[in-house]
Copies of this chain bind each other. A is one copy, B any other.
Amino acid sequence: MARSITAPDGFGAAATHETFQLPPGRTLDICLNLHNAILEHRLAPGMKLSEDEVGEIYGASRTVVRAALQALAHSGLVTIARNRGAFVSRPSIREAQEVFEARALIEPRIARLAAHAMKASDLKKLKKHMDAEHAALASGDKGKALALSGAFHIAIADIADQQVLSQMVRSLISRSSLIIALYWRRADTTCESHAHHALLKAFSEKDGSAAEEIQKSHIVDLHSGLDLREKQDPKSSLADALKSG
Interface string of A88-113 (1 = CB under 8 A from B): 00000011001101100110010000
Interface residues in A149-198 (C-beta closer than 8 Å to B): 162-165, 168, 172
* Chain A interface mostly: helix
Cα separation A162 to B73 with both chains bound (whole Å)? 20
A140 within 8 Å of B (CB atoms): no
User: When the two chains form their complex, are residues B106 and A73 in contact, meaning their CB atoms are under 8 A apart?
Assistant: no
A58 within 8 Å of B (CB atoms): no
Query: Residues of B contacting A73 with CB < 8 Å?
Result: 21-22
Supply 12 A–B pairs (Cβ within 8 Å), ascending by A: A21-B76, A22-B70, A22-B74, A22-B80, A23-B80, A63-B63, A66-B67, A70-B70, A70-B71, A71-B74, A74-B74, A105-B106
Given contacts A71-B74, A74-B74, contact A82 B163 (CB under 8 A): no
A245 within 8 Å of B (CB atoms): no
Query: Residues of B contacting A98 with CB < 8 Å?
Result: 162-165
Q: A interface vs B, CB < 8 Å?
A: 20-25, 63, 66-67, 70-71, 73-76, 79-82, 94-95, 98-99, 101-102, 105-106, 109, 162-165, 168, 172
Query: Residues of B contacting A109 with CB < 8 Å?
Result: 105
Selected from B21, B74, B95, B102, the residue in CB contact (under 8 A) with A80 is B21
- Would you give the shortest CB distance from A123 to chain B, in whole angstroms? 24
Selected from B20, B70, B75, B162, the residue in CB contact (under 8 A) with A101 is B162
Query: Residues of B contacting A79 with CB < 8 Å?
Result: 21
Cα separation A25 to B81 with both chains bound (whole Å)? 11
Closest chain B residue, CB of each to CB of A71:
B74
Known: A23-B82, A102-B165. 13 other contacts (CB 8 A): A21-B76, A21-B79, A22-B70, A22-B80, A23-B80, A67-B67, A71-B74, A95-B164, A98-B164, A98-B165, A102-B168, A105-B165, A106-B106
Closest chain B residue, CB of each to CB of A164:
B98
Given contacts A80-B21, A168-B102, contact A163 B70 (CB under 8 A): no
User: When the two chains form their complex, are residues B74 and A21 in contact, meaning their CB atoms are under 8 A apart?
Assistant: yes
Query: Residues of B contacting A25 with CB < 8 Å?
Result: 82
Given contacts A80-B21, A80-B22, contact A164 B70 (CB under 8 A): no
